[in-house]
A and B are shown apart, each in its own frame.
Chain A
Amino acid sequence: MSEAFVAVEAAGTGTQPVPAVSGARQFWRRLRVQRAALVAAIVVALLVLVALAAPLLTAIEGQDPTTYHPSLVDSARGGVPLGSFGGIGGDHWLGVEPQTGRDLFARLVYGARVSLGVALAATAVQVAIGVVVGVAAALGNRWVDQLLSRITDIIVAMPLMIMALALLAVVPSSFPRPVLVALIIGFVAWGTIAKITRAQTLTLKELDYVAAARLSGWGTLRIARRELLPGLAAPVITYAALMVPANITIEAALSFLGVGVKPPTPSWGQMLTSADVWYQAAPQYLLLPAGALFLTVLALTVLGDGVRTALDPRAVSRLRVGTGRKGEAKADGGVGTVDAGVAKPAKTVGAGVEKEVRS
């Protein structure tokens, strides 16, 4: 028997009214009960902390990410770091980069800055464009909708990696590279978020409470602001949370190909470009950035899943925590329906979320 069925039947006898919980508190409560998501949130918090404190950490170590140390690499052997384990020691906690002798620890923590910074900025651009285009398509007339939807389809269909690569070719190289990478990722990958926003807006638009607001005499702008936008928050946040790890991967991939973030700015993907040459002499030069990428993307993905579960009203019963549904007072009769916090997304939207735009 389906859980929904059980829930509807079971709802009948619950008479304890729950106190009003604000959206944020309820969200946190639903996130907290997922152990994996909680661990992931802590990992992400630590990563962000490391990124923010990068100058401090390197100052403690006494190094910086850009200074060359030619004396620490064996130029006769092609630039293999001197000393055991790739030059690990008190001065260089994680050793030095082959060929250049730059401090690996410093490059790694500054790399976290680039990785997270680019990914978050790109996500912000994607959300901004996607929401505007999606809402405009849903609320505009037939022609506006046709035009915007067609463009969105193309953006969704085109491989992000290819478009980003191509765009990077034509932009003048004087542009600050990390900003450029963030903007380009943002500009080529807003399609799915626009589609989700449009679908959700169309659903919300048909809801009776929006009709009621129209009957009250409010204008379109006020209705969009008060009734529609808050309803968009859940799906947009869900998708944005899943976009962040995807964007990290893309930045790393572009930098790995040598067209993304360029030296001397450090980036994890860029560090991996020549790692295969050095893996025997300095294995940490491969393992550290690869591990950092893996950990970051994994933590963000698990957190993203947790956010989705916490925001999806259909997931409430799966979590089995006390929520609005259980508290629906039944004595006055009525229907046992899930709270309409988010209009049920179309099935294809679910597939869209799965289909993150990647390399």
Chain B
Amino acid sequence: MSLVQVSDLTVDFGDLRAVDGLSLRLEQGAALALVGESGSGKSTVASALLGLHRGTGARVSGSVEVAGTDVARAPEDALRRLRGGKAAMVFQDPLSSLDPYYAIGDQIAEVYRVHTRASRRAARARAVDVLDRVGIADARRRSRSRPHEFSGGMRQRALIAMALACEPELLIADEPTTALDVTVQAQILDLLHTLREETGMGLLLVTHDVGVAAESVDDVLVMRHGRVVEHGSVGAVLGAPSEAYTRELLGAVPRVDAPRALPEASQEAVLESAVVEEGVVEGHVVEEAVVEGVVHGEAVVEGVVHEEAVVEGVVHEEAIEEGVVLEAVGLRREFGRGKRAFAAVDGVSLTIRRGETLGVVGESGSGKTTLGRMLVGLLEPTAGEVRDIGHARVGVNPAVQMVFQDPVSSLNPRRSVGESIADPLRARGERDEGRIRGRVRALLERVGLEAAHYDRYPHEFSGGQRQRVGIARALAADPHVIVCDEPVSALDVTTQAQVVALLGELQRELGLALVFVAHDLAVVRQVSDRVAVMRRGRLVESGPADEVYGNPQDPYTQQLLAAVPALDPEIAARRRAARRRAAAQESARHESARRDADLRDADRRESAVT
């Protein structure tokens, strides 16, 4: 009997159909990933496996059977025995998924006691056990901590520990690493892998990230609009996709091992032919991601892109001759006062030249956003200075613009997008309404929207379209530098590729200098000429992108690159093995260090006695 058997599952929320006639099957101990972009219904499927739609007003039809329980028809108490007992779920955001008021050990013990008749004491002991098992050091003491005292990675470990408590047959992981940094993500994925090997439980992984799926499972099911697009082994689906959408999805995934630049020729060809297929949205032509992606992907294989990149590099060499447009000298920024003061950015110096892209990459807390805000003048540095074309600057300068991360909060919901874009024009003193409207319309069209969108409001646009509006607003100021702060991290991968392509085009067309701040190493590589790697407020390494990525010098950069999920399962396995070796060495080093310390302690005690 299969561990999970879903047939013809349909879920409706009101008049929205989230899942549409989906069937899948998962054998004991097997691992399957549901992959899809936002709104594909993948999380809804995961919830349906545990009957979590009951009582929420959602209409569920079709049959769902998990570990011998008929989820649709089972009585409430049978369903509760299934939940956590036979099938356990790990959620996306580890902070909000735990009760902030209770100790982590108590929460795990509570769940354990629901499914076993264990005593309080035994349940606590079990909690410590499983915490230890997922790699929480000093589990007994840490089990008394509340969730906010844990780091993101530790919280996700704790959630996995909760899932392990009752030794379930199936683990459902809903975007388990989306909220985590890439190095932590690698650790969590490795942990899931190890646990699966040890316990033989089945895994159903829900993710938007094809790389994460490739790292972790045997089979992949690609979803779109609530339907199955393609289902098969990882090697088959990712290696030789048969469906157009799968190819589009794969093509859009930025690769950390591919050098910079979208081949310019193919880009323009695509725009000219304006193939109107699936990628065309609401009447405006977008860069045909399907075609582009395929070209890109094949080019990588054939090594063609590399040559073109070299050609392009020459062009940039010329641009560099024209000189520096933005310079940061010894920037430092502190937050807080007195004892709580800390430096988010500490002694960072950078130069950005006309027409080039500088990628700034770092994990959360590295200070990259603070740096970006200082570069545009939204934050005053505590020390050091920012220079525009050689002149020291205080405050903002419309010639240095920014594209923001969050497509929701970056546009005033009460003003039409046209008015938002017109802001820099009006602020500059332009009074002629006709000229303003004309310029804004031209900008809207330039970023791939329609001129008629002038009078629309932000809520009528999708995330990707709002980012385009944000780009148009930045362009309205006629900037020579645009700092992009995580401009695509809130977007789905296909949209991401389109926005990145747009930025590249504009840069070539207008000779813009771009500072591209992001946590995603692959995206940064895709767009950058030079890359700066940040950690804890400092630059640990910087240089031409190919050098930094191809031959990283700093151990932190090496660690970062090793943690990026690979699309090829074989490479993924090799990297995992390498990470394990490194982790083993690390812990051995710690172990010996601790032994040494213990010995020293013992020595001291002895000498104290004598």
Contact = CB atoms under 8 A, between A and B. Distances in A.
Interface residues of B, number: 74
B58 A333 contact: no
B460 interface: yes
A10 B12 CA distance: 8
Interface string A325-353: 11111111111110111000000000000
B337 to A, nearest CB: 10
Contacts of A5: 43, 47
B463 A339 contact: no
Contacts of B473: 212, 216
B396 A208 contact: no
Interface string B431-458: 0000000000000000000000001111
A335 B39 CA distance: 9
A355 interface: no
B461 interface: yes
B41 A330 contact: no
Interface string A187-220: 0000000000000000000011101111111100
A333 B494 contact: yes
Given A333-B492, A334-B407, A217 B424 contact: yes
A334 B463 contact: yes
Interface stretch (B409-417, B524-532, B566-574): B409-417
A6 B464 contact: no
Interface in B456-479: 456-466, 470, 473-474, 477
Contacts of A339: 408, 413, 458-459
B544 to A, nearest CB: 29
A27 to B, nearest CB: 12
Contacts of A140: none
Contacts of A12: 16, 18, 38-41, 225
Interface in A40-95: none
Contacts of A20: 416, 455-457, 460
Contacts of A312: none
Contacts of A263: none
B410 A208 contact: yes
Contacts of B414: 23, 230-231, 341
Given A332-B462, A335-B38, A215 B477 contact: yes
A320 interface: yes
B311 interface: no
B516 interface: no
B428 interface: yes
Contacts of A326: 16
Contacts of B465: 329, 332, 334
B423 A216 contact: yes
Contact of A212 (B14, B58, B410): B410
B597 interface: no
A6 B420 contact: no
B401 A9 contact: no
Interface residues of A, number: 49
Contact of A216 (B16, B286, B398, B462): B398
A1 B56 contact: yes
Given A10-B18, A335-B38, A329 B282 contact: yes
A250 to B, nearest CB: 34
Nearest to B44: A9
A133 interface: no
B14 A211 contact: no
A215 B459 contact: no
A227 interface: yes
B13 A10 contact: yes
A274 interface: no
Contacts of B226: 13
Contact of A334 (B13, B396, B412, B495): B495
B470 to A, nearest CB: 7
Contacts of B377: 215
A215 B378 contact: yes
A324 interface: yes
Contacts of B43: 5, 9
Contacts of B37: 333
A13 B462 contact: no
Interface string A5-28: 111111111100110100100000
Nearest to A211: B378
Contacts of B492: 333-334
A209 B378 CA distance: 12
Given A13-B39, A212-B420, A332 B282 contact: yes
Given A18-B460, A20-B455, A332-B464, A215 B401 contact: yes
Contact of B423 (A3, A212, A324, A332): A212
A231 B408 CA distance: 14
Contact of B16 (A13, A332, A334): A13
Contact of A217 (B428, B457, B496): B428
Interface in B32-61: 37-41, 43-44, 47, 52-53, 56-58
A213 B16 contact: no
Contacts of A334: 38, 407, 462-466, 490-492, 495
B404 interface: yes
B218 interface: no
Contacts of B579: none
Contacts of A207: 409
B402 interface: yes
A209 B460 contact: no
Contacts of B406: 208
A234 B359 CA distance: 40
A5 to B, nearest CB: 8
Contact of B38 (A1, A212, A333): A333
A98 B62 CA distance: 74
A88 B459 CA distance: 60
Given A209-B411, A331-B282, A1 B420 contact: no
Given A6-B56, A12-B41, A209-B411, A214 B462 contact: no
B80 interface: no
A231 B477 CA distance: 25
Contacts of B426: 216
B114 interface: no
Contacts of A320: 14
B404 A211 contact: yes
Contacts of A13: 16-18, 39, 41, 225-226
* Among B39, B455, B491: residue with most chain A CB under 10 A: B39
B460 A332 contact: no
B261 to A, nearest CB: 23
A58 to B, nearest CB: 45
A93 B411 CA distance: 59
* Among A5, A9, A207: residue with most chain B CB under 10 A: A9
Nearest to B494: A333
Contacts of B455: 20
A68 to B, nearest CB: 56
B188 to A, nearest CB: 21
B459 A227 contact: no
Interface string B380-417: 00000000000000001010111011111111111110
Nearest to A231: B414
Contact of A9 (B13, B428, B456, B491): B13
Interface of B: 13-14, 16-18, 37-41, 43-44, 47, 52-53, 56-58, 225-226, 281-282, 286, 373, 376-378, 396, 398, 400-402, 404-416, 420, 423-424, 426-428, 455-466, 470, 473-474, 477, 490-492, 494-496, 498
Given A215-B477, A339-B408, 4 more contacts: A209-B420, A212-B404, A215-B376, A324-B460
5 closest cross-chain pairs (CB), A and B: A12-B39, A334-B463, A333-B495, A333-B492, A324-B459
28 contacts: A9-B43, A12-B18, A12-B39, A208-B410, A209-B411, A212-B402, A212-B420, A214-B378, A215-B376, A215-B396, A216-B477, A217-B398, A226-B415, A230-B412, A327-B460, A328-B460, A330-B38, A330-B462, A332-B465, A333-B464, A334-B463, A334-B464, A334-B466, A335-B491, A337-B408, A339-B458, A340-B408, A341-B414
